[in-house]
Each structure stands twice: as C-alpha cells, then as structure tokens.
Amino acid sequence: MYGRILVALDGSPPGERIVPWVRLLARGSGSVVRLLTVCRPVREPIMARGRAVAYVDQLEDRARGHALAYLQGLAARLQEDGIPAAVEVRFGDPVETILTVARDSAVDLIAMGTRGTRGLGRVLSPSVTRAILTRAPLPVLVARLRGQRAA
C-alpha cells in the first residue's frame, strides 16, 4: 500500500521505535524503505589553545560516518527481512530536510518517532514531528510509544 517509505531517525533508541512497525508495513508488500538521519550542521571547528584542532569538514565527516554506520545496521536488518532499504545522512534543518528528501524521493509515507535525544547534534523532537505532521503533503506514521513500560 505504501510503496516508498521514508523513516526519519536520529540515532537514539526512542527514535528507533518506529522501525519494527515500518518492517511490518513493508514486509511482503514490496515496499522500499529509505532511512534518513538529519544531523545538526557543524558551525565551528573545535578550538584548543587558539588553534583549530578539528575542522568543520572533519567533524561533519565524523558525524556522517557514525550516522551511516548506525543506519546501515538498521538497513541490514530490514534487508534480512526482504525489504530493500537505502540510507541517507544529511546536514541541515530537520524539518526542511525531511520534507525535501520526501519530495525528491517521491515517498508515499513518512514514518518517525516523536522523541529522541539531543546528543551528537541529531534532533528528533516533538516540535519536529509536529511540523512534519502539519506540513507534509502525505501520510505520516508516528510512534510515540512511551517506552517506560516496565520491561
């Protein structure tokens, strides 16, 4: 039913909660999944004693590397279930980037959690989700799933 699904992730366990549901939706329907993480853009190099120790592009490369590794792990598990999965890492404003990727990849559904951690410059927050819900011209699958279930 939803042939192309875009999953917005931020590298945190709460953000990841949507993935099993995407697997359910996609499995056996021939759906293709794109996993996307939007990293906060790096603005400044890391300075130590007046010298730049790590430059912006180095920091971005490192963030991209981590994010890719994380996404590829998830993609591999989806592929084991017979679901084609692509990964993408972008830098920029989360809402604009998610909407842009959704449009450019002609997806039928955006899937995301509503809560993430703010570490490592990745942001998936209730406000991002709310903005996507309001502005995306396509269906959105949202998982809040308070994980505080004692388990």
Partner 1 sequence: MQVKTLMKTSLVTIDPTATLAQARELMAAEGVRELPVVRDARLVGMLTDRDMRAAAASTLPPLARYEHPPLLDRMAVAEVMTQDIVTAGPDTPVREAACLLSGLGGSSLPVVDDGLFLGLVSTRELLGVLAGVLDHRRPAGFSHILIPIDGSPAGADALAAGVALARQHGSEMTMLHVLVPFGRYAVAELVPAALLTELVAARKAGACRLLRKEMPPLEGLRIGLEAVEDDPVQGIVRVAARIDAQLIVMARRSRARSLVEAVVRAAPCPVLLVDSGKEPPDARA
- Read out DSSP for 12-59? SHHHHTTHHHHHHHHTTTT-EEEEEEEEPPP-SPEEETTEEEE-HHHH
Residues 86-105 that bind partner 1 (CB under 8 A): 95
**Strands 46-48 vs 51-54: parallel, antiparallel or unpaired:** antiparallel
Q: Does 1 bind partner 1 (CB under 8 A)?
A: yes
Can you give the length of the chain in residues?
151
- Going by C-beta distance under 8 Å and a sequence separation of 6 or more, which residues neighbour residue 51? none
- Indicate the residue among 62 and 144 with the shorter CB distance to partner 1: 144
CA distance 126 to 129: 5
Which whole-number Å values give the CA distances from 138 to 6, 31, 79, 86, 99, in the listed order?
Answer: 11, 16, 25, 20, 10
- Per-residue x/- marks for partner 1, 24-63, CB under 8 A? xx---x----------------------------------
Q: Does 118 bind partner 1 (CB under 8 A)?
A: no
**With CB under 8 A, what is the number of residues at the site for partner 1?**
29
Q: Does 106 bind partner 1 (CB under 8 A)?
A: no
Provide the minimum distance between the beta carbon of 118 and partner 1 in the complex, in angstroms, as a whole number: 19
- Indicate the residue among 106 and 133 with the shorter CB distance to partner 1: 133
Contact residues: partner 1, CB under 8 A? 1, 17-18, 20-21, 24-25, 29, 95, 114, 129-131, 133-145, 147, 149, 151
